[in-house]
Chains A and B, each alone.
Chain A
Amino acid sequence: MIDFMEILPGRQRLKRVYLTLILWFFGRAIQAAARVDHGVKSEFAAMPGHYTFCLGAFPNGPFMVVGKDAQGRVRYLGSSTANRTIHLHLMFKSINLLFVTLTLQESTSTANARDRLFVSGDVPQACAVVRVMDLIQVLLLPKFLAKLAVKRYPDWSLKRRTLVRAMVYIRAVAGH
């Protein structure tokens, strides 16, 4: 029997660091927007209480876990999926595919159309989470970048484009 040298897959450290940071900030931004943006608020209002979802890359992450508690408060729950009941998984098939989407090389809808992710859980809630992701991207990114991420850039009021956006940024940085 011939011995072969074992080839280990690349660890892609830079991509992992980038994605971990983006997902960390994204999660905090969701928590912030759920308090100050009416669009995000109403998406979460329609979700059941005690509901947790996870976005990440299969199989080893990074992950972002967000949950809504019984009182309706939305919280970023960190990057670990261990010891948690997760009701909805949005899992990109590899770290590379998550990287492509979170570097805006591919919009969320294109990633979905190209079958880049597994969805495990209720479809209506998955639809709501994808809409939340689109809203967060519009809130966080300048228009020329956000247009790469969403199908149709929304026509928002001045207040939402400025004040709400600033509040989301401040709260996401502060972790409120």
Chain B
Amino acid sequence: MEMPEYFEFCGRVNLVAGHDALEQIPGLLLSMGAKNLMIITDQGVSRAGLVEILVQSLDSRITVRTIQDEVPPDSDIDIVHTLARRYRKNTCDAIISLGGGSVMDTAKGMNILVSEGADNLRAFTGAGVLKHRLKPLIAVPTTAGTGSEVTQVAVIADPDHGRKLFFTSHFLIPDAAVIDPRMTLTLPPHITAATAMDALSHAVEASICLAENPLSTALAHDAIDLIRCHLPRVVNHPDDPAGRLALATAAALAGMAFSNSMVGMVHTLGHAVGSVCHVPHGACMAVLLPHGMTYNYHRTQTQLADLLLPLAGEEIFARTAPRDRAQKAIDQVRQINQGLHLATAGAHAVRLKDITDKNRQILVPLHRLPEIAGTALGDGSIFYNPEDLEYDDCLMVLEAAFHGEPLDRSSIRKG
């Protein structure tokens, strides 16, 4: 591994992971001097009965002042402003976010407002804008993918201005991330697959993008190893608590890795596909990951070759000649996708044109690819990608991902 000349790493989240981890929450809250709780979640989580499990794990020392379960699938600024008013009205002093990425980001956004005593979240967009510690926030993930429970990032839509607001600050890292497999046991196989591929894409990009560093890479490789060992079994046996814990831990590790070394073009394009076509994030990541690896192959051959060990295991790594390992790592990701496609009876997409809604309508039509490519140019992750990426490059990769054809490496413009 090559040492970067300089890097920064911040991983101060208190990670509490295990089969009865939820029961640790009262102690965590009291240690932070908080006991009046707001729980933020969404209706899917609420309907799945996960809020009751969480509330039952609390004890009499903690008062749940309010439970807010109105977070939409794409977190937006209106719900953040509404929740901040309710937090103040209920005189809460701590927050638990129970859900996936949208819930986590909503809670982070609301925490900015209630901690800064502000009414307009737009004033805090950007990197490094926050200057103070925020209110106690405990994140309890109900998917094993986003890693938002350990990251310093929040993305919140601003529908009035048709844009997404990005917030990056060490102060956005939750005080504690509580990983309990009871929270992910009910995830259906195709969502388990897509969210795990989201975590895999975090880990892979954290290892190959411009801000990669030894700490992020170590975490990322461990995350990939856990995903390789447990994902196939969990997709086939969703009620496996040990496997669920391993996948949720992998997502947190990958989250810590990318929170510090950031992500590149897989997310640049994935965010744009999601923004234009409202496609689940994990599905985009699964499809785009091998294309992103291929696009950056000429600049990241060493890092890609190193990834083969966690992606394929010792035997395949040792059997593969060093010069072939980078390409083999890409092939391995394709193979994982293909395996998940078969295991979920086709519900796990391997091409953009395979991503459909409940009525089997294509969500990413071919004619919207130019719009997606244009949107991608405004995503901050583009600067962390090893190779430069212009509009034509985005379109070329999107077209390959749409049809499921591997990128021709000779057609990639090299810097």
* Residues of A participating in the B interface, judged by any CB pair closer than 8 Å: 89, 108-110, 112-115, 117-128, 130-131, 150-153, 155
Contacts and interface: CB of A to CB of B under 8 A. Distances in A.
A123 B126 contact: yes
Contacts of B211: 113-115
Given A121-B126, A127-B378, A110 B388 contact: no
A122 B383 contact: no
Contacts of B129: 118, 120
Given A109-B383, A123-B166, A128-B378, 14 more contacts: A109-B210, A114-B6, A114-B211, A117-B127, A120-B125, A120-B127, A121-B125, A123-B379, A124-B377, A124-B378, A125-B378, A150-B415, A152-B387, A153-B415
10 tightest CB-CB pairs across the interface, nearest first? A152-B415, A124-B378, A118-B128, A152-B388, A113-B210, A151-B388, A113-B211, A120-B126, A119-B127, A123-B166
Contacts of B163: 122, 124
Contacts of A120: 125-129
A119 B379 contact: no
B295 interface: no
B384 A113 contact: yes
A124 B387 CA distance: 19
B413 A152 contact: yes
Given A124-B163, A127-B377, A152-B413, A112 B384 contact: yes
Nearest to B211: A113
Nearest to A127: B378
A119 B262 CA distance: 15
A117 B209 CA distance: 18
Interface of B: 4, 6-8, 125-129, 163-166, 209-211, 262, 377-380, 382-384, 386-388, 413-415
A126 B414 CA distance: 24
Nearest to B415: A152
Contacts of B413: 152, 155
Contact of A152 (B377, B378, B414): B414
B166 A151 contact: no
Contacts of B164: 123
A128 B377 CA distance: 8
A152 B298 CA distance: 13
A68 to B, nearest CB: 16
Contacts of A131: 377
Nearest to A39: B390
Contacts of A150: 388, 415
A151 B388 CA distance: 6
